[in-house]
Chain A
C-alpha cells in the first residue's frame, strides 16, 4: 500500500518564539528556546551509556540525561567530533536528552522567516519541521520533541 501522508507534514512551529541556533556537524539547526533545559559543558558527561546510540550521560539532581552526537545530516554517530564541546539538554517529555554541538546562538524568530517543509522532503522519521531563511542562509527547523522522536526512532 503506497500512501501519501500529507497530513503528517502539518507540524506547527511555535509562533513569535525566541530561538536557539545550534551548529551541529557544520549544519545550522533552529529550535524554540523554550525547548532548551540548560547548556552544559562536555566535561560533565559521564561515559556511561544508558541508551543505545548515546555517547554518555549527564546527571543532575537524580535525573539522567542520555547525550547523543549528531552528524551534519542529523543522524546519530558514536564518536564525538573534537570541536563539539557544548551539551544542550532538551526538554522532551518521553525521555529528556542532550545533544552535543559546536556553537549555540540565542536569537529571535522575527529576524528570520519560517517556511514549511516542501512536500517532496517528507520523511516519516525526519526531525525537521520546516526551514528558516536568515539573511540569505537556509537553516533547518526542529523541536526537542521531533528531534527526540527521530533519535529514539532510529533505535527501534
Chain B
C-alpha cells in the first residue's frame, strides 16, 4: 500500500470525506430517505464542480480583459448553478423557491475563491515580469 505523507494527507482526507459524504447521500436518497442534508451535500458537490470547471476554462478568455473574463465566468457558473437547482427540484420533488439564498450561497464562496485564485496567479506573473524587465534593462545598459 502506498504511504500517505506530506501534502497527500489533507488531500486524502478531502477525497475520502467527499466520497463518504456523497456515497451516504446517494445511498439514502436512492432508498427514499430524502433529507435536506443529503440534497444539500449533493448540490454543494455539483456547485463545487461547476465553480472549478468554470475557473479552469480560463485559457478560452486569454485575450479578454481580466474583469470581463471573471464576469463572464461568473455568469456561466451562476447559470449552471441555477440550472442544477431547477433539475434537482424535479428529482427531489422539492420546489426551490429560495433563489436569493442560493444566489448568495454560491456567489460569496465563488467570489472569494476566484479572487484568491486570480490574485495568486497574477501576482506570480507580475513578479516574474518585474524580474525580467530588470534583467533586460540592466543587460541593455551593460
Chain B binds chain A:
no
Q: Spell out B's residues near A (CB within 8 Å).
A: none
Residues of A in contact with B (beta carbons under 8 Å apart): none
